[in-house]
Amino acid sequence: MQWVRWSVGRVLIGLLTILGITLVVFLISRAVPGDVATTLLGPFATEEQRAAVTERLGLDQPVYTQYWLWLVSMLQGDFGTSVASGMPVLDELALRLPVTALIAGMSLVLALVIGVPLGIAQALHVRKARGVTGRVLSGFAISFPEFALGSIIIFIFSTLQLGVSVGAFTSVTDNFWGGVASSIIPAAILSVFTIGATARTTRDAVLDVLVEPFIQASVARGDSPGSIVRHHILRNASIPVVTLTATLTAYLLGGAVIIEAMFNVPGLGSYLLTALDRRDYAVIQAGVTLAAIVFVAMSVLVELLSSLIDPRVSTVGGRR
Amino acid sequence: MKHESKLVLGAALAFALALAGCASQGGTTDTSTGSAPDGYLVKADADTPSEGKLHIQLDYDTAELAGLDPAGAELARGWQITALVYDTLVGIGPNFEIVPKLAESFEQVSDTEYVFTLRDAKFSNGRTVTTDDVIGSLQRLIDMQALWSTQLGQIESMEATGDNEVTITLAAPYTAFLSALANTPAAIMPIEEINAGLDPTTEMLGTGPFVAVDHRQDESWRFERNPEYWGGDTLGIDELEISIVNSDQTRLAGLRDGSVAFTNFANPDAMDLLGNAANVVALDQTQTNFFYVFMNSVNPESPLTDQKLRQAVNSALDRQQIVDLALAGLSTPSAVTPANLPGACSPDSMPMVGGDTSALEGQTLSVLIYNDDPALASIAQAVQQQLEAAGAAVNIETLDYATYSDRVYVQQPGDFELALGWFAGYADPSMVTGWWNPEQAFFNVGFTQSHADLNEAIATAATLPNGSERDEALQTVCELVDTYSEIVPLATQPMVLAYRDDIVSPSLFTDEGYGDFLRLITEFRVLSAEQ
């Protein structure tokens, strides 16, 4: 029962966090210089034309009124209309979310499938050549800038005609398999960082667990190395990895702007960036709110998962 | 987040440029145009079959508050995209002459009277264009009070003087009238359907070569051949797909790997970057658009309220050096009248050339630019060096366009000292000289003063017919602008156009007034379906 109360509390805190983020995003978007009337009407618009647009978009009302109206509409499922396209923002996001989600998903799978075993191997062979090599490689992967790697890949593939087009991206919403093929290279580039980070985190977590008394006891009992890894190390080392996975998911969904721009991926990141340029408030607010919901949801999920993996997480003051 | 992203994207581009620079060593540059006719960079091979699908990429999409309504389009990309669907009465030919379009003929019967004879053309829904559509479209444009409404001059009357004939009478002579009619905002709209409820901001119905079948904002357009197009067999494309690709690097890659047939680059360095790419031809189309520097003479906190200091800045600017250093030598120094328009003033003949720059000694100035245009940063650096050579300290402030716009155009007075940007140059000198009269232009009241002599000279030049008398009047305008030194022209804007010569045979003019490098899209021929 205490775990349920604790979980409900976490969810409520998450909802409050999202509400706070919507307020902050709203205020910041209104505080930055420039407005949508100026950017879309262009420099030659008269003051009267700008005023008319401002009034039509409701931007002449007090900020708290604007915020309240937006919040109420959003809770009713209406995230507003993009001024640039004239389309409902939710429809626009729905077109772009699958594109970003596919790339993020592919990158995350690569991170877990390659990064976790790599991290375990590094920890188990910490003083051996392969452990050191793995550590160097994962350090290199974390440090190598995505834009540099992306530039190299684009140059190589476009110049050497390797059979994969990097000059024209196909959206998964238009052509599923074409979209999957187009997503491979961007996902692979994004995964370089995520693999490195996952391997490094896994290695550190496993090293922490390896010095625990229950590992020594298991070794003393004569358990096989495979059994020790499966039954003792993986479970206890998984909390930091799960936490990192949640962070990486949020990063990949909202933060892969550079790769999206480089490969002309019509995803969430590039969409938000363009909206920010135009001060397309409805898009900015909806996009950031969506990202916040994903991030907060992932954080809450991680906390709940962590409490299931290690019940001590959900204890208060050290007692359940 | 945005600023950092821009920085990283800039770093990415710089990295790509470095890579491409490595690759171009030892390569050959193919920028030849063969034997194109006068006024053309390249002329399409008319013997090629008129069919096929063409995939091109553009660097950004149109985004206008007026949506897809050409009459409300204020920026060149909006004109270009809507021109694929809509037609104007007249068009622009090579060397900026006015050519028939939806009007099969036209005649200027007096200083103020023009007669247009319509061709037998239909909208894409099959309805024949009438004189009511012509008169209604232009009246609608005037009533909208949009940017282009002012470019039409003072229309006194419009009447149908025959089944296919419209006579337009101006209140006063206005030499740029036909040039203004030749741009897409003056497109002939389906007035009957609009009156019946069609919303042109969301639905496109025109007489042009294509019908729009799909549009995803900032992502793509898809057009199909308009079966009712009056040009009929002259149209060489069945389907036109336009991808919006912001990244120069990706468009370069698309050309190299053949996934795109044609694209454009505002970055003049693209010409070199494509030097050794197989089957890629890169050409520079000279735009009448030109770069300028604003000097804030209105804000009391700006040191540039002092005309002597403004003139010193003007005198310290070496336009040819800016062209060579910042624009890869692809453009031309320009005065107020864009250098490639007939009868343009010579920037070398301006009063401030070689003038006194001593007022710059010990001054500290800031230059505002925005980060969307790669050429502006290079020009700002050249300007910085030139002013510093004259004794001033110069800071460059880079902003996103919305913030730049707010500080330059919206705040009254403008919150800046020097600012760089560019104007559309249009197809007649009088269409752009109006921007030097703040009472007419509006956008510059926050940083330029109104001068009666300059305003009068601008108005006079606009009414004179083309010829030596008008050239002299325009020279007076140029000299006054140079003397007041508030909006100082620098150089024309280059536009690198690149295509795969194994996929497409395009037609391109050498010069362009409305930023529409797809003006001759009907002449393009598809050579290979593999894209």
CA distance B160 to chain A (A): 32
Q: Which of B517, B528, B529, B526 is nearest to B40 (CA)?
A: B517
Selecting from B75, B403, B408 the residue whose C-beta is nearest the C-beta of A42 gives: B75
Secondary structure of B436-455 as H, E, C letters: HCHHHHCCCCCCCCCCHHHH
Tell me: the pLDDT tens digits for B67-120? 999 999 988 999 999 999 999 999 999 989 999 999 999 999 999 999 999 999
Q: Which of B278, B280, B251, B279 is nearest to B267 (CA)?
A: B251
Per-residue pLDDT, B12: 52
Q: Are B464 and B292 in contact (CB under 8 A)?
A: no
A with B: how many residue pairs have Cβ under 8 Å apart?
Answer: 168
pLDDT category, A222, cuts 50, 70, 90? Answer: confident
Nearest CA in chain A to B255: A167
CA distance B466 to chain A (A): 27
**How many angstroms separate the CA atoms of A121 and A118, rounded?**
5
Average pLDDT (B496-521) is 96
Residue A76 contacts B, CB cutoff 8 Å: no
Per-residue pLDDT, B19: 52
**How many angstroms separate the CA atoms of B522 and B211, rounded?**
13
pLDDT category, A131, cuts 50, 70, 90? Answer: confident
Tokens coding B519: 């003006």
Nearest CA in chain A to B401: A277
Pairing outcome for strands B511-512 and B280-295? parallel
Inter-CA distances, A258 with A149, B6, B20, B283, B348, Å: 11, 9, 19, 29, 44
Per-residue pLDDT, B7: 47
Cis peptide, bond prior to residue B413, ω within 30 of zero: yes
Cβ within 8 Å, pair A38-B403: no
The three-state secondary structure class of A25 is: helix
> What's the mean per-residue pLDDT of chain B?
91
Within 10 angstroms of residue B527's Cβ, the number of other Cβ atoms is: 17
Cβ within 8 Å, pair A147-B12: yes
Disruptive mutation site among B151, B405, B412 for chain A (greatest number of A CBs within 10 Å):
B405
Phi, psi (rounded to 5 degrees) for B86: -110, 155
Phi, psi (rounded to 5 degrees) for B188: -85, 120
Per-residue pLDDT, B28: 36
Residues of chain A neighbouring B15 (CB-CB closer than 8 A): 147-148, 151
Q: Which of B28, B186, B25, B5 is nearest to B101 (CA)?
A: B186
Cβ within 8 Å, pair B250-A35: no
Tell me: the pLDDT tens digits for A5-59? 888 888 999 999 999 999 998 998 888 888 777 777 777 777 787 888 888 888 8
Polymer length of chain A: 320
**Does the pLDDT value for residue B16 go beyond 60?**
no
**C-alpha of B519 from chain center:** 12
Tokens coding B428: 């007649």
Residue A173 contacts B, CB cutoff 8 Å: no
**Does the pLDDT value for residue B6 go beyond 80?**
no
Half-sphere exposure of B261 (CA within 13 A, CB side): 24
Tell me: the pLDDT tens digits for B286-325? 999 999 999 999 999 999 999 999 999 999 999 999 999 9
Residue B199 contacts A, CB cutoff 8 Å: no
Contacts of B142 (CB under 8 A, 6+ apart): B149, B152, B155
Nearest CA in chain A to B13: A151
Inter-CA distances, A72 with A58, A66, B25, Å: 15, 10, 60
Contacts of B311 (CB under 8 A, 6+ apart): B352, B355, B356, B359, B483, B485
CA distance B75 to chain A (A): 8
Tell me: the pLDDT tens digits for B317-337? 999 999 999 999 999 999 999
Per-residue pLDDT, A315: 63
**How many angstroms separate the CA atoms of A286 and A1, rounded?**
36
Average pLDDT (B420-449) is 92
Q: Are B491 and B324 in contact (CB under 8 A)?
A: no
Residues of chain A neighbouring B147 (CB-CB closer than 8 A): 42, 44-45
Tell me: the pLDDT tens digits for B81-94? 999 999 999 999 99
Lowest mean pLDDT, pick from A84-98, A229-243, B53-67: A229-243
Within 10 angstroms of residue A316's Cβ, the number of other Cβ atoms is: 9
Exposed e or buried b for every residue in A122-141, given b needs 16+ CB within 10 A? bbbebeeeebeebbeebeeb
